Amino acid sequence: MELTVEAARALAAGLAMGLGALGPGIGIGLLAFGAMQSIGRNPEAASLVQLNMILAIAFTEAIAIYALVVALVIVFVGVA
Protein backbone atom coordinates (compact mmCIF):
# COMPACT_ATOMS: atom_id res chain seq x y z
CA MET A 1 0.00 0.00 0.00
CA GLU A 2 1.43 3.33 -1.07
CA LEU A 3 1.28 6.53 1.00
CA THR A 4 0.44 9.31 -1.40
CA VAL A 5 1.06 13.00 -0.79
CA GLU A 6 -2.65 13.64 -0.27
CA ALA A 7 -2.92 10.79 2.24
CA ALA A 8 0.12 12.09 4.11
CA ARG A 9 -1.40 15.59 4.21
CA ALA A 10 -4.68 14.25 5.56
CA LEU A 11 -2.87 12.20 8.19
CA ALA A 12 -0.69 15.14 9.23
CA ALA A 13 -3.66 17.49 9.44
CA GLY A 14 -5.62 15.00 11.52
CA LEU A 15 -2.71 14.52 13.90
CA ALA A 16 -2.13 18.27 14.17
CA MET A 17 -5.76 18.93 15.00
CA GLY A 18 -6.16 15.95 17.31
CA LEU A 19 -3.04 16.58 19.34
CA GLY A 20 -3.57 20.33 19.15
CA ALA A 21 -7.02 19.99 20.72
CA LEU A 22 -5.94 17.51 23.39
CA GLY A 23 -3.88 19.99 25.41
CA PRO A 24 -6.48 22.77 25.48
CA GLY A 25 -9.20 20.26 26.32
CA ILE A 26 -7.28 19.05 29.35
CA GLY A 27 -6.37 22.63 30.26
CA ILE A 28 -9.95 23.87 30.16
CA GLY A 29 -11.06 20.92 32.27
CA LEU A 30 -8.42 21.70 34.89
CA LEU A 31 -9.35 25.40 34.81
CA ALA A 32 -13.02 24.65 35.40
CA PHE A 33 -12.16 22.15 38.14
CA GLY A 34 -10.02 24.69 39.97
CA ALA A 35 -12.59 27.45 39.56
CA MET A 36 -15.42 25.30 40.91
CA GLN A 37 -13.31 24.28 43.90
CA SER A 38 -12.41 27.90 44.54
CA ILE A 39 -16.02 29.06 44.34
CA GLY A 40 -17.07 26.21 46.61
CA ARG A 41 -14.53 27.27 49.23
CA ASN A 42 -15.13 31.03 48.92
CA PRO A 43 -18.53 31.86 47.38
CA GLU A 44 -18.04 35.60 47.92
CA ALA A 45 -15.24 35.63 45.35
CA ALA A 46 -17.33 33.89 42.68
CA SER A 47 -17.51 36.87 40.30
CA LEU A 48 -13.74 37.46 40.39
CA VAL A 49 -13.00 33.76 39.96
CA GLN A 50 -15.47 33.53 37.08
CA LEU A 51 -13.93 36.52 35.32
CA ASN A 52 -10.41 35.11 35.58
CA MET A 53 -11.60 31.64 34.55
CA ILE A 54 -13.25 32.95 31.39
CA LEU A 55 -10.13 34.92 30.49
CA ALA A 56 -7.91 31.89 31.00
CA ILE A 57 -10.27 29.68 28.96
CA ALA A 58 -10.13 32.20 26.09
CA PHE A 59 -6.32 32.08 26.07
CA THR A 60 -6.34 28.29 26.28
CA GLU A 61 -8.84 28.01 23.43
CA ALA A 62 -6.58 30.19 21.26
CA ILE A 63 -4.07 27.33 21.23
CA ALA A 64 -6.68 25.03 19.70
CA ILE A 65 -7.38 27.68 17.06
CA TYR A 66 -3.66 27.76 16.23
CA ALA A 67 -3.78 23.98 15.75
CA LEU A 68 -6.76 24.39 13.42
CA VAL A 69 -4.85 26.98 11.37
CA VAL A 70 -1.84 24.66 11.13
CA ALA A 71 -4.07 21.78 10.02
CA LEU A 72 -5.71 23.94 7.35
CA VAL A 73 -2.31 25.12 6.11
CA ILE A 74 -1.13 21.51 5.88
CA VAL A 75 -4.19 20.53 3.86
CA PHE A 76 -4.46 23.48 1.49
CA VAL A 77 -0.93 24.92 1.18
CA GLY A 78 1.18 21.77 1.13
CA VAL A 79 4.35 21.63 -0.95
CA ALA A 80 4.04 19.28 -3.89
Please report, for the domain that includes residue 38, its CATH number.
1.20.20.10
pTM over 0.85: no
Domain span holding position 25? 5-76
Count of structural domains, the chain: 1
CA 40/CA 46 separation, integer angstroms: 9
pLDDT tier at 78, thresholds 50, 70, 90: low
* Residue 1: pLDDT over 80: no
pLDDT at 2: 79
pLDDT at 3: 80
